[in-house]
Amino acid sequence: MSKSAHQRSIRFDNQVVIITGAGRGLGRAYAELIAARGGQIVVNDAGVAKDGSGFDPSVADAVVAEITAKGGSASACYENLEDAAGCRRIVEFAFDQFGRVDALVHNAGLVVFAPLEETDAIWERMMAIGAHAAFHLARAAVPYMRAHEYGRIVLTTSGRAMNVEHCVSGLIAYSAAKMAQVGLMVGLAAELRDTGIRVNAISPVAATRVLRRSAPELLPELVAPGVAFLASSACDKSGAILHASGGRFSASLWGRSKGIDLGPTPASPEEIAVRWQQIVEPTQSA
């Protein structure tokens, strides 16, 4: 390898990376890749079923065993993400085990389909794991990151939640939880902009146990490089959403249309209706 190629290599030597939902699918792929590049991994996974029930510590243990068998460094943590204290304990566990916290990847999520009339039963759980856990984890991790003036936080959103055409019936709670992480990303990125901490989000598509269609080509390993980049020192940008699916990558950076000026006096609702297409027309790039 040439010297210039070596300088471009993304490594995690001496860095501690917390990954939630790291026992299976996407989280496991993230953990294995970052561990292979020198990261010390906290594998958080309670080993629950698809509906969030049960508890199986062997799920996280298996990932730790695989990483350590390959010469990597990892420890398993089984805390429940639905509990704020549990989220704090995950971060404390990382510090107790490895002495620092450099990156947090909140990958864990729950996908339960339910129509609007039946969403009450799952709303609290979906929001707890998708939104509240992200907040409590970040809140616990940031002080450790501030202490050594460096950190990376990667949250998880979904293309299903961002676009009506891509969403399907039954994902109201899921969509709300995933978009809450976008708002959290923006708020954290703004508050931490003058620090060495960067906050971004991944919007992944992969053939995991929650994907309802057969798409074996959508390997989690094809998403993992994007997360490894966002979690690394090579990423010095905050507030971006990286879309990753089957080896294809694109990004969303929030903006707004150019709009039109309807004058200093109140416009009528009818005028808004007539000019709607002009109002929402995207800004054209040069």
> What pLDDT, on a 0 to 100 scale, did the predictor assign at position 211?
52
Q: Is the pLDDT of residue 253 over 80?
A: no
Question: How many structural domains comprise the chain?
Answer: 2
Task: Kindly report, residue by residue over 51-71, the tens digit of the pLDDT.
Answer: 677 788 999 999 999 999 999
Q: What pLDDT does 4 receive?
A: 43
In a domain, 4, yes or no: no
Q: Which two tokens stand for residue 107?
A: 């990958």
The pLDDT confidence band at residue 6, using thresholds 50, 70 and 90, is: very low
User: pLDDT tens digits for 146-195?
Assistant: 999 999 999 999 887 787 777 788 888 889 999 999 999 999 999 999 99
Token pair of 146, please? Answer: 């501030």
* Better-scored residue on pLDDT, 54 or 40: 40
What pLDDT band is residue 45 in, cutting at 50, 70 and 90?
very high
Do 30 and 20 lie in one domain? The reply is yes
Q: Check if the beta carbon of residue 142 is closer than 8 Å to that of residue 192.
A: yes
% of the chain residues with pLDDT over 90:
58
Q: What predicted TM-score, i.e. pTM, was given to this entire model?
A: 0.88
Confidence at residue 106, expressed as pLDDT on a 0 to 100 scale: 97
CATH code of the domain in which 171 resides: 3.40.50.720
Same domain? 273 vs 168: no
Domain assignment present for 133: yes
For residues 223 and 282, state if they share a domain.
no
Q: Is 213 helix (H, G, I), strand (E, B) or coil?
A: coil
Q: Are residues 228 and 204 in the same domain?
A: yes
Give me the mean pLDDT over the 226-253 stretch.
89
> Which of 87, 68, 65 is closest to 78 using CA atoms?
87
Contact call for residues 70 and 41 (beta carbons, < 8 A): no
Identity of the amino acid at 98? F
Same domain, 179 and 233: yes
200 plus 264 within the same structural domain: no
Q: For the ranges 41-55, 149-163, 230-244, which has the lowest average pLDDT?
A: 41-55
The reply to whether 1 falls in a domain is no
According to DSSP, the residues that pair with 43 across neighbouring strands are 19, 76
Q: Which residue has the higher pLDDT, 88 or 244?
A: 88
* Pair (223, 279) in one structural domain: no
The pLDDT score that the predictor gives to residue 161 is: 79
Task: For residue 185, give the nearest of 174, 196, 193 by alpha carbon.
Answer: 193
How far, in Å, CA of 71 to CA of 106, rounded? 24
**Amino acid code (one letter) for 47:** G
Query: Considering Cα of 177, then 178, then 179, then 184, what sign does the dihedral take?
Result: positive
Residue 62, SS3?
helix
Share of the chain above pLDDT 70, in %: 91
Range of the domain at 272: 255-286
- 273, 189: one domain: no
- Report residue 49's pLDDT band, with 50, 70 and 90 as the boundaries: confident
User: Is pLDDT of 2 > 50?
Assistant: no
Q: Look at residues 246, 135, 229, 136 and name the one whose alpha carbon lies nearest to residue 186.
A: 135
And the tokens for 80?
């429940």
Per the rule left: phi > 0, alpha: psi between -120 and 50, beta: everything else, 192 is: alpha
Which sequence positions are flagged as catalytic?
174
Same domain, 108 and 249: yes
Report pLDDT digits (tens) over 95-106: 999 999 999 999
Give the integer Cα–Cα distance in Å for 266 and 286.
32
Residues 220 and 206 sit within 8 Å (Cβ to Cβ)? yes
In single-letter form, the type of residue at position 67 comes to I
167 and 265 belong to one structural domain: no
CA angle 94, 202, 129 (to 5 degrees): 60
In a domain, 264, yes or no: yes
Same domain, 137 and 263: no
